[in-house]
């Protein structure tokens, strides 16, 4: 009788342990971050890479960049998130800026660094820095173009089938005229099928 009770007790402990909270405790580096990632139905790094690659290719072939004698000065600002997901749109725009810079056809001014630059001007003009190396207001280069955009999504579900559609739209505006000189979008649609999960 004691043996039966012991077996039942061990079995119950094992079941309770298996049904308890679990955590991801062992990981490894993925050798290729460019491999497609469809682990969930949410926005992923694969979506970001695909969208940025195609949009940057489109922008750099536009005559305002490709035919310019000197690299135009561009400011990348915000990407509006019109989806129901929490998406780090700043990361998307950072990748746009980096990929454009890699081609060497564009120069950038950093809107986010303006406060830091103004603070450094104050320091350099405080008497702590030699006059020969001082920098100050009035010498910055103004941007020729500004790039911004929006991210939209449509989610549809019927029975066990689900599709998630994203559209990333970017615009490049001439700061002197206010005219949008380039605009393009990238569409991404992913299909998922619900499966039962359990014992």
Query: Is 149 within a domain?
Result: yes
Q: Where are the beta strands (DSSP E) in 73-159?
A: 73-81, 107-108, 145-158
Give dist(CA 74, CA 108) in Å, integer.
5
Give dist(CA 190, CA 161) in Å, integer.
11
Tell me what the pLDDT averaged over the chain comes to: 86
Give dist(CA 170, CA 148) in Å, integer.
6
Query: Is 9 within a domain?
Result: no
pLDDT at residue 79, as a whole number:
97
Residue 199: pLDDT above 70?
Answer: no
Query: Is 30 within a domain?
Result: no
Residue 16: pLDDT above 70?
Answer: no
Query: Is 160 within a domain?
Result: yes
Query: Is 159 within a domain?
Result: yes
pLDDT at residue 48, as a whole number:
94
Q: At what angle do helices 89-102 and 45-60 cross, to 10 degrees?
A: 40
Cβ atoms of 73 and 144 within 8 Å: the answer is yes
Residue 17: pLDDT above 80?
Answer: no
Q: How many CB atoms lie within 10 A of CB 121?
A: 17
Q: Average pLDDT, stretch 157-180? A: 95
pLDDT at residue 197, as a whole number:
59
User: What pTM was computed for the model?
Assistant: 0.77
pLDDT at residue 61, as a whole number:
93
Give dist(CA 198, CA 150) in Å, integer.
39
Q: Average pLDDT, stretch 10-32? A: 62
- Give phi and psi for 138, each to the nearest 5: 105, -5
Query: Is 4 within a domain?
Result: no
Question: What is the number of structural domains in the chain?
Answer: 1
Q: Average pLDDT, stretch 127-154? A: 92
* Phi/psi-derived region of residue 158, left when phi > 0, alpha when psi is between -120 and 50, beta in every other case: beta
Lowest pLDDT segment from 15-19, 52-56, 191-195 = 15-19
Query: Is 164 within a domain?
Result: yes
Lowest pLDDT segment from 5-19, 44-58, 105-119 = 5-19
Q: Average pLDDT, stretch 114-142? A: 90
CATH number of the domain where residue 178 is located: 3.40.50.10610
Parent domain of 151? 42-129+140-193
Query: Is 15 within a domain?
Result: no
Cβ atoms of 41 and 156 within 8 Å: the answer is no
Residue 6: pLDDT band (50, 70, 90) is: low
Residue 25: pLDDT above 80?
Answer: no
pLDDT at residue 49, as a whole number:
94
């Amino acid at each position: 009788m004691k043996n039966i009770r012991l077996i039942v007790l061990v079995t119950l402990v094992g079941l309770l342990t298996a049904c308890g909270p679990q955590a991801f405790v062992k990981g490894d580096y993925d050798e290729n971050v460019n491999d497609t990632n469809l682990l969930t139905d949410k926005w992923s790094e694969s979506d970001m890479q695909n969208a940025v690659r195609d949009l940057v290719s489109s922008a750099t072939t536009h005559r305002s960049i490709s035919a310019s004698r000197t690299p135009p000065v561009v400011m990348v600002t915000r990407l509006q998130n019109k989806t129901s997901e929490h998406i780090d749109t700043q990361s998307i725009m950072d990748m746009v800026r980096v990929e454009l810079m890699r081609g060497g056809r564009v120069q950038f001014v950093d809107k986010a660094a303006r406060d830091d630059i103004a603070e450094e001007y104050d320091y350099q003009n405080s008497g702590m820095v030699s006059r020969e190396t001082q920098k100050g207001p009035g010498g910055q280069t103004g941007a020729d173009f500004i790039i911004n955009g929006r991210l939209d999504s449509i989610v549809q579900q019927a029975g066990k089938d689900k599709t998630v559609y994203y559209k990333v739209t970017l615009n490049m505006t001439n700061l002197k005229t206010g005219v949008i000189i380039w605009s393009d979008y990238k569409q991404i649609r992913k299909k998922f099928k619900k499966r039962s999960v359990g014992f």
